[in-house]
Structure 1
Amino acid sequence: MTDARTLVLVIPHWPTIAAGVAYNCPAAVMHMNRVVDATPAAVEQRVVPGIRRREAQRLCPNLEMIDDNEARNARRFHLIVAALESVTPRVEISAGGWCSFPTRGPSRYFGGDQTLAQLVAERALDALCNTLSVTEVPRVIKPRVGIADSRFTACLAAFPKNLPLIQIVAPGTNSQFLAPFPVDTLGNKDSPLVDAADLIDVFRRLGLRTLGDVASLPSDHLLARFGSPGLLAHQLSLGIDGRTPQTHLISDVVTEESEIEPPTDRTETAVFLAKALAEEIHKRLSSEGLACARILVEVESEHGEVCSRYWRHEHHFTPTAITDRVRWQLEGWCHSTTGPTGRLSLVRLVADEVVPDDGRQLGFWGGEAFIDERVVRSLTRIQGMLGSDAVTVVEHREGRRLSDIEQRVSLAVTGFDPDRSVATPEATAAPWPGRLPAPLPAVVFQQTQQLIVTDAEGQPVRVNGRGQIGGDPAHIQGELLGSHLIVGWGGPWFLDERWWDPARKHRQARFQLLLADGTAHLCVVQSEQWWLEASYE
């Protein structure tokens, strides 16, 4: 094990900062329909990371929701990292808002860990204020610094929930510092066990509540029962990073570079070359049973300017992941005030740290940048047995009606790519007048059901050609729903599409109805007939 004293810098709420959202406005950053970050104003409304989109909207109706964007997070973090280059050239970026570096040289040069941590915090704070164009930021988003004998321990020392902005773990005390932390911290964002939720759940059910409980177990027992993830959990709980870098002679360092001829001012040209270099590095390391855990990306301009960054991965890099880091680095450099004055002339990749490639257990759909070939083969066999149109996938489009927004299309048409960009129907940027407001119904019926909707006097509720309602809905009756009182309603959202085309014209009014039994439904009235179209959850 090579555990070196490490400094970790964390800027809380970085995804919302990078999105350009004011921290005094209720906003949340979403990933896969879950909150991954929220502004302090949203947290006051109990919008916290982990909850679902609909729950967040229920808690805070005026919540602004932004899709998470790794490229944006990393690009804007370039300004913070650049402010630390005068402290050390070996800043490693894990993700936007998180970076680290070994303290051995800088700590000795600046006079100790405390002085170094204070210096890093001050420079990061100045850069953050410049990024936000303010002179002061609230404590809740101020940079936090942790120093410890391992990177995992330093991450917990700098974790945003800790009260001090600077926390230094004394040398040799990693295990004592980690002992009271809950076992869930093994799955933190920057942990090698970030994808080991099942293992952590087993630990909880076994009564292992803290990292101290895990550390107290014999390591050989954990290895025998849980394999390498169990051993890694034990090492992390003791304050050991648990990764064994493969040492190479300088002459054997895996380096790939390419000159850009002629030099270009287009970042995509450099990224295209970097993709080929990344694939070559991956091929060379794979032939030796190795994988890259830390990559050095260097880009030069024709005027001799160099942008050099270290990037770290919690497992190991794929060629796609390396290419993404090159793109983020270039976008951050070229759009900064210290960007290149000349065109890009060279790209260099160095596998700075390599580890044994012992594989990685992926979920059913694999990683976000990984296609599970077994799934593709299985779906292809199903197509062979049932027909090419038997396997369908959801495709979100734009429109006003539910049938327009979400459609199922044949897998044979779209191809299978778990990493394909799938926009949520609530995130469309088009105006679409008459479109239903978010959140959209969770259950859409294939066949609409006839309804009878009446007002308080028992008269049928009608909507005229101008979209004006004749009475307030008070009672609903239908074969599927039964008979209920209506305690709340919204609408109408009036549609009058293609009125100039007798064959394709479409006119209807849609209502959201809340019934006395607590259920909510989307109902439409067309040609004076009410229909049940969808239900909310």
Structure 2
Amino acid sequence: MALWFPDWPVQAVRLSRDDPAPADDPLAIAEHHRIRACGLSARRRGVRRGMKVRQARAVCPDLEVIDADPERDARIFEGIIASLGEVASSVEVLRPGLVIIAADAAARYHGSEEVAAQLLIDAASRTGVDIITGVADEVTTAVIATRVAGGGVVRSGASTSFLERQPLGVLVAEEALGCDEQVVRTLGDLGITTLGELAAISVGSMATRFGQAGLRCHAIATARQSRRVAPPINTANWEISHIPEEPITRVDAAAFRARALAVQLHARLAEAGVVCQVLRVTADFTDGTTSSRVWRTSEPLTEGATADRVRWQLDGWLTARGVVEDTDGGITALWLTPLECVPPEMASDGLWDTGTSHRAVARQVIERVQSTLGITAVLQPVPAGGRGVAERIVLVPYGEQPDPVRRPGGKWLGRLPSPLPARLGGGINHPAAQVVLISASGTRVTVTAEVRLTDSPYALGWGPRRYLVTAWAGPWPVDDRWWDSSGQRYARLQVVGRAVSGTGTTWDAGAEPESEPRAWLLIWLKGRWRIEAIY
């Protein structure tokens, strides 16, 4: 059974306030200048996830924007998890705002799944907070069920028939499913629109084309997930424990201890050659009580991810207890228990590794740099529209999208035809990019005012290197920005050649080509040939 709390970051902000604003006031959560989550009132006014903050404020001027805070989301969610724990014993957190529960165990205790679901909803109910439930044979199917038609129960054995009708987009609607967005987008481009069509593809084809990320999507579509909620501990003892000299009562002290325990745990797991995907955090308190919580992730836990979850959990427990003194409910002992460990190749870094886990680590580092130095501190190249070669790639801040006017699919009359060069040259003004074209008679080949070559190219010289021209096309005139004083007139020429042994200043007419052909995109500007790009 999956319990989904829609727009949880927004609800967490409202629940954390002593004097919450009315529910119809538009509220959104932003991260890196983009909307990460928004409430129902904001969506009704046109705000959507992924929007730039300035665009969201343009469509909804009275929108209140709050910075994303995962610790706040987890701390507030702890109160709901504690309430659920009074009804069911096996509560597992996928992320703040989404939990899974062993429905069969809860049904046996309370009489039926419907009764158990109603009791869980009643226990977790908070003013203004919606709850949607989904029940199925598999964890992933139950999560998808919460996203379809307001939740529901998928009867036993009917997961495949239920999933085959679902649109492909549900795989990326919930981040806890762990599906690669680029893979799902590519599948859509190939004409796959439903999970049923995805399931019809053979496992071998998915592994060959999309690797581990594709197999993850295929396993969800075919209901092949077999993990149970709160699985038993492995026989190997990889548990890490700590008993502080003084009870832990401060959040900063808990954060420091969480980092140290995460380092110890991952050192032990690395020595054993495994990674953890399900982690249980347990703490003893000075009043004699014990609290325990299970966290599950779609990808292997990293050292930083483990430290974050332990810190969130301890922060939530201390805040919920209102600890203010050493003798007022502080933590006296702490355990980290990996409940489900697998070899790395079974997680994400196997033979068909798609780099998903490495991209996640890189993204965390980049986002940390941007938060310190500004969003423009890290730029990434993205395809764009344009006529020339250099115009087809633009640098934008990491996580941002290029100007829609420069979209790659737009019509650009006069643009350079395919195939495009593989690498840009040193630039049209770079000295190393200057070349010489000569004809068979030894005269230099130039471009006339009528944009015609003075003779057919026979050889090309680039510094000490010599090439015999085997093919050429052009020239093509360009009148760039004719309406502006910064505009220039030039011409482009494509040339294919083979290297020869001669490296002096003279040409050997009898030299034989000695390598595979190479190709260049030349530009004639200010009376000289230059290399704009290399094929």
| TM norm structure 2 | 0.62
Q: What whole-Å deviation, never above 9, does each CA across 1:234-268 have from its counterpart, x for those lacking one?
A: 11001222779999876523211010102232233
Q: 1:366 to 1:271 in 2, by over 3 A?
A: same
Displacement after TM superposition at 1:394 (Å): 8.1
Task: Report the Cα distance in structure 2 between the residues aligned to 1:9 and 1:407, rounded to whole angstroms.
Answer: 38
Residue among 204, 207, 215 paired with 1:223? 207
Residue among 331, 356, 367 paired with 2:361? 367
Residue among 347, 352, 360 paired with 2:334? 347
Residue type matched to 1:33 in 2?
H
Aligned to 2:317: 333
Q: What whole-Å deviation, never above 9, does each CA across 1:404-431 have from its counterpart, x for those lacking one?
A: xx9979xxxxxxxxxxxx9x9xxxxxxx
Q: 1:35 to 1:258 in 2, by over 3 A?
A: same
Task: Report the Cα distance in structure 2 between the residues aligned to 1:408 and 1:235, rounded to whole angstroms.
Answer: 39
Residue type matched to 1:10 in 2?
W
The SS at the match of 2:51 is coil
Task: Report the Cα distance in structure 1 between the residues aligned to 2:363 and 2:213, rounded to whole angstroms.
Answer: 22
- Determine if the alignment matches structure 1 residue 31 to structure 2 residue 41: no
Q: What whole-Å deviation, never above 9, does each CA across 1:280-318 have from its counterpart, x for those lacking one?
A: 221222233311111100111222122211111120111
Whether contact under 8 Å (1:235, 1:242) holds in the other structure is no
Bigger CA radius of gyration: 2
Whether contact under 8 Å (2:280, 2:294) holds in the other structure is yes
Q: What whole-Å deviation, never above 9, does each CA across 1:468-493 have from its counterpart, x for those lacking one?
A: xxxxxxxxxxx999xxxxxxxxxxxx
The SS at the match of 1:183 is coil
Task: Report the Cα distance in structure 2 between the residues aligned to 1:480 and 1:304, rounded to whole angstroms.
Answer: 80
Aligned to 2:415: none
The SS at the match of 2:192 is coil
- Determine if the alignment matches structure 1 residue 176 to structure 2 residue 161: yes
Alignment of 1:154-165 (within 5 A): 154-159=142-147, 162-164=148-150
Unaligned runs of 5+ in 2: 15-20, 350-354, 379-396, 400-483, 487-535
Task: Report the Cα distance in structure 1 between the residues aligned to 2:332 and 2:372, rounded to whole angstroms.
Answer: 43
Percent same amino acid among aligned pairs?
27
Aligned to 2:170: 185
Residue type matched to 1:367 in 2?
V
- Determine if the alignment matches structure 1 residue 16 to structure 2 residue 17: no
Task: Report the Cα distance in structure 1 between the residues aligned to 2:101 and 2:256, rounded to whole angstroms.
Answer: 29
The SS at the match of 2:320 is coil
Displacement after TM superposition at 1:17 (Å): 1.1
Q: 1:54 to 1:323 in 2, by over 3 A?
A: same
Task: Report the Cα distance in structure 2 between the residues aligned to 1:12 and 1:408, rounded to whole angstroms.
Answer: 33
Residue among 242, 254, 264 paired with 1:270? 254
Whether contact under 8 Å (1:294, 1:353) holds in the other structure is yes
Q: 1:328 to 1:292 in 2, by over 3 A?
A: same
- Determine if the alignment matches structure 1 residue 152 to structure 2 residue 133: no
Task: Report the Cα distance in structure 1 between the residues aligned to 2:170 and 2:137, rounded to whole angstroms.
Answer: 17
Q: 1:351 to 1:224 in 2, by over 3 A?
A: same
Task: Report the Cα distance in structure 1 between the residues aligned to 2:292 and 2:230, rounded to whole angstroms.
Answer: 22
Displacement after TM superposition at 1:23 (Å): 2.5
| Root-mean-square deviation over aligned CA pairs | 3.2
Displacement after TM superposition at 1:40 (Å): 1.7
Residue type matched to 1:70 in 2?
P
Unaligned runs of 5+ in 1: 1-6, 130-136, 377-391, 397-405, 410-421, 425-478, 482-537
Residue type matched to 2:170 in 1?
T
Aligned to 1:46: 46
Task: Report the Cα distance in structure 2 between the residues aligned to 1:248 and 1:72, rounded to whole angstroms.
Answer: 30
Task: Report the Cα distance in structure 2 between the residues aligned to 1:117 and 1:244, rounded to whole angstroms.
Answer: 18
The SS at the match of 1:317 is coil
The SS at the match of 1:171 is coil
Task: Report the Cα distance in structure 2 between the residues aligned to 1:38 and 1:331, rounded to whole angstroms.
Answer: 25
Task: Report the Cα distance in structure 2 between the residues aligned to 1:92 and 1:60, rounded to whole angstroms.
Answer: 37
Aligned to 1:79: 79
Segments of 4+ moved more than 6 angstroms: 242-249, 406-409
Task: Report the Cα distance in structure 2 between the residues aligned to 1:246 and 1:303, rounded to whole angstroms.
Answer: 26
